Structure 1
C-alpha cells in the first residue's frame, strides 16, 4: 500500500454510506476508519481479533467490559479480542482509525 493521508481516507469514507471503511488488509492485520455521528448509537459487537482505536476526531465515551472511559481526539484505546465494548454518548462526530490483528473476520469467535 502506498502511503496515504487521513484526509484522503475521510473523503473516501464520506461517500461510502457505511460507518466503517476498511482501507488495508494484509495477512497480519487490517485497518479502517470508523465514524459515529454525534448522538448516534454504536452498533458494533465484540470481535474475534484484538483491536486498537486511535481517535482522530470527536468526543464521547467508550465502555470496555463494563468500565467507561472518556475519549477524544488523540486518545488510543486497546480492546482485547472477544471483549464487549462500544462507544457511548458521542457528543461530537467520532472518528477512529481502527487496527485489527489479525485481520477483522479472519478468526472465529473462539480464535
Structure 2
C-alpha cells in the first residue's frame, strides 16, 4: 500500500483498525518502512518478525517481554525489537494501542 502521505492522524488510524476487525492494520509503506497500528485483544500472540521493529506506545500500560528481559511500558515509550527476537506484550490494559514500524532488510540491520 505505497502512499505519498506524510501524516497519519491517530484518529484515522484507530478508525481504520476498528473497521478492519483485526488487531493490527497496515497504514503506510515507503521503501523498507511499514507503519501499522496494533491493539491486541487480551493476549498478544505475536511471533518473531523477519525485520527490525520499533513500537511507540500510544495509550495503555503493561509489561513488554523481549527474549528473557521484562520491562514496564506506558504511553510515549519507544521499544526496539531486533529481527528474529521473541517478544510480546503482557498484563496490558484494555486501552493499550501502539504504533508499529518495521524497517530494513530481512534478517535485520547489521
TM range (shorter): 0.7 to 0.9
Hey, which bits of structure 1, 4+ residues long, moved more than 6 A? none
- Using the alignment, how far apart are the partners of 1:24 and 1:53 within structure 2? 15
2:8 corresponds in structure 1 to 4
Normalized per residue, the structure richer in strand is 1
Matches within 5 A, 1:67-82: 67-82=69-84
Aligned residues: 105
Q: 1:91 aligns with which of 90, 93, 99?
A: 93
Larger relative contact order (CA 8 Å, sep ≥ 6): 1
Residue 30 of structure 1 deviates from its aligned partner by: 0.5
- Using the alignment, how far apart are the partners of 2:32 and 2:47 within structure 1? 22
Q: Which sections of structure 2, spanning at least 5 residues, go unmatched?
A: none
Classify the secondary structure of the residue corresponding to 1:90. Answer: coil
Q: Which sections of structure 1, spanning at least 5 residues, go unmatched?
A: none
- Using the alignment, how far apart are the partners of 1:85 and 1:26 within structure 2? 25
Cα RMSD for the two superposed structures: 1.9
* 8 Å Cα contact 1:60/1:92 also seen in 2: no
Residue 107 of structure 1 deviates from its aligned partner by: 3.1
- Using the alignment, how far apart are the partners of 1:4 and 1:43 within structure 2? 26
Normalised by the length of structure 1, the TM-score is 0.86
Classify the secondary structure of the residue corresponding to 1:7. Answer: helix
1:49-100 superposed Cα distances (whole Å, 9 cap, x missing partner)? 0000000011111100111111111110000110100000112321000000
* 8 Å Cα contact 1:51/1:101 also seen in 2: yes
